[in-house]
Homo-oligomer: A and B are copies of this chain.
Amino acid sequence: MAVTEFSIISRYFSSLGRGEAVELGVGDDCAILHLADDQRLATSMDTLVAGVHFPDDAFPEDIGYRAVAVAASDLAAMGASPLGITVALTLPGADEFWLTTFSEGLALAVSEYSLPLIGGDTTKGPLTITVQVFGSLPSKLALLRSGAAAGEKLYVSGTLGDAAGGLAFIQEKWQPEPEYADYVMNRFYRPTARLQLGSALLGKATSAIDISDGLLADAGHIAAASGVRLTIQSACLPLSAALKSHPDENQARQWALCGGDDYELCFTLPAHFPVPEGCTYIGEVCAGEGVDCDVPVDTASGYRHF
């Protein structure tokens, strides 16, 4: 795509690059970011592959939005404040409709999450989007996976399993009630990165992770990194009205436990802290290892990438 690379960048993306920390954006060999003296850089990388992380026929606007939100979610899980993103876009060809709608979704998320686009690369090949996200953290604070201790409480933000339900709907494995169809599909395609919650938990939560692979899997990373056992009470799992409407209660619960792509935060707080707004208590931090739940887990019904 050497010939069209620069025209693509300038036409679709260079208006998305303004931000306080951006000293130099798209158009030179590197972008330049300025961090305040007492701040550190937090950064993470996420790749979405067509046919693996989203259906081949997904609407490009959804792909653009989702790529940014998924990356932003890693900042939320660290408690970091957004500075910007770079985007590597590998495309089969320079299709104008695709680029226009993709960049609209990107622009929406860039604006919503205050993540100016400061650079990237466009190449020719099978559709793949990699987003690198940049954020800032105070010099002494960060939400890590490793600080949970026995006696603390386990929480999640929002509701769980919606994205798995949305994926089941997209794959025509579940037909939700009409009033919930858009909701669950948007929970898959337009996840909400919990940046404000992440910032609010900084200095309070003892561990945090965002739920990309499913609650049990991601809670498992906290358990392993912290050297604790997490006990999840299935009756406490926050389910949306959409998931509660599922005729098979067990299926909805399995999605909440094993479904990926919700991008809610899972975190631990000392027992005396109040429940943060929009969050739900789901269990306890104990001595031991691993994650324990009071219902059998049917991994076969859990989340699968395409």
- The interface of chain A, by Cβ under 8 A from chain B, is 2, 23-24, 27-35, 37, 40-53, 74-75, 77-78, 80, 86-88, 90, 118-121, 123-126, 128, 130, 132-135, 137, 139, 142-146, 208-210, 213, 217, 225, 260, 305
Q: A88-B45, A121-B46, A125-B128 are in contact. Are A29 and B305 (CB under 8 A)?
A: no
Decide: A134 and B24 in contact? CB cutoff 8 A: no
4 smallest CB-CB distances across A and B, nearest first, come from: A49-B125, A29-B77, A30-B42, A126-B126
Picked from B29, B44, B51, B210, the residue with its CB within 8 Å of the CB of A210 is B29
Specify the chain B residue showing the minimal Cβ separation from A46.
B121
Known: A29-B209, A46-B88, A130-B130. 16 other contacts (CB 8 A): A24-B144, A28-B146, A29-B143, A30-B78, A32-B40, A32-B137, A33-B43, A34-B40, A35-B40, A43-B119, A43-B134, A45-B121, A47-B90, A49-B126, A121-B130, A124-B305
In the assembled complex, which residues on chain B have CB atoms less than 8 Å from the CB atom of A217? 2
Q: A2-B213, A213-B2 are in contact. Are A41 and B49 (CB under 8 A)?
A: no
Q: A75-B30, A125-B51, A132-B132 are in contact. Are A119 and B88 (CB under 8 A)?
A: no
Q: How many copies does the complex hold?
A: 2
In the bound complex, CA of A137 to CA of B29 (Å): 13
In the assembled complex, which residues on chain B have CB atoms less than 8 Å from the CB atom of A305? 2, 124
In the assembled complex, which residues on chain B have CB atoms less than 8 Å from the CB atom of A208? 29
In the bound complex, CA of A210 to CA of B28 (Å): 10
In the bound complex, CA of A44 to CA of B24 (Å): 11
Task: Looking at the assembled complex, report how far the CB atom of A146 sits from the nearest CB atom of chain B, in whole angstroms.
Answer: 8
In the assembled complex, which residues on chain B have CB atoms less than 8 Å from the CB atom of A27? 145, 225
In the assembled complex, which residues on chain B have CB atoms less than 8 Å from the CB atom of A78? 28-30, 32
In the bound complex, CA of A29 to CA of B92 (Å): 30
In the bound complex, CA of A287 to CA of B134 (Å): 39
Task: Looking at the assembled complex, report how far the CB atom of A259 sits from the nearest CB atom of chain B, in whole angstroms.
Answer: 12
Specify the chain B residue showing the minimal Cβ separation from A42.
B30
In the assembled complex, which residues on chain B have CB atoms less than 8 Å from the CB atom of A80? 30
